[in-house]
C-alpha cells in the first residue's frame, strides 16, 4: 500500500500551510487571548476551497478526496 501523498494532495497541503503561516499565525495569539472568532478566516478558507473538500463539484464542493 502506498501512503505517499499525490501531487494534488501535496499542493493542497502547501496551500493550507501557506494560509496558516501567512493568515492564521499572525492573529492566532490575539484571537485566543480576546476570545475573538476570526470569521474572515473562515470565509477565506471557503475561498481557498478548504471547507467543502470532498463534496462533489455538482453540489458546490471542490471534489477533493478525503485525504486532501
Q: Is the pLDDT of residue 31 over 90?
A: yes
> Domain tally for the chain?
1
12 falls within a domain: yes
- 0.85 exceeded by pTM: no
Q: Identify the pLDDT of residue 38.
A: 95
Work out the number of other CB atoms within 10 angstroms of the CB of residue 54: 12
**Residue carrying C-alpha cell 463534496:** 55
Q: Is the residue at 2 inside a domain?
A: no
Q: Is the pLDDT of residue 4 over 90?
A: yes
| Residue at 39 is within a domain | yes
Domain enclosing residue 39, as ranges: 7-59
Residue labelled with grid coordinates 478558507:
45
Amino acid at each position: 500500500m502506498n501512503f505517499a501523498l499525490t501531487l494534488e494532495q501535496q499542493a493542497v497541503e502547501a496551500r493550507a500551510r501557506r494560509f496558516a503561516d501567512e493568515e492564521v499565525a499572525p492573529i492566532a495569539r490575539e484571537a485566543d487571548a480576546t476570545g475573538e472568532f476570526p470569521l474572515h478566516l473562515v470565509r477565506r478558507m471557503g475561498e481557498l476551497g478548504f471547507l467543502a473538500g470532498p463534496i462533489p463539484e455538482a453540489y458546490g464542493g471542490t471534489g477533493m478526496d478525503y485525504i486532501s
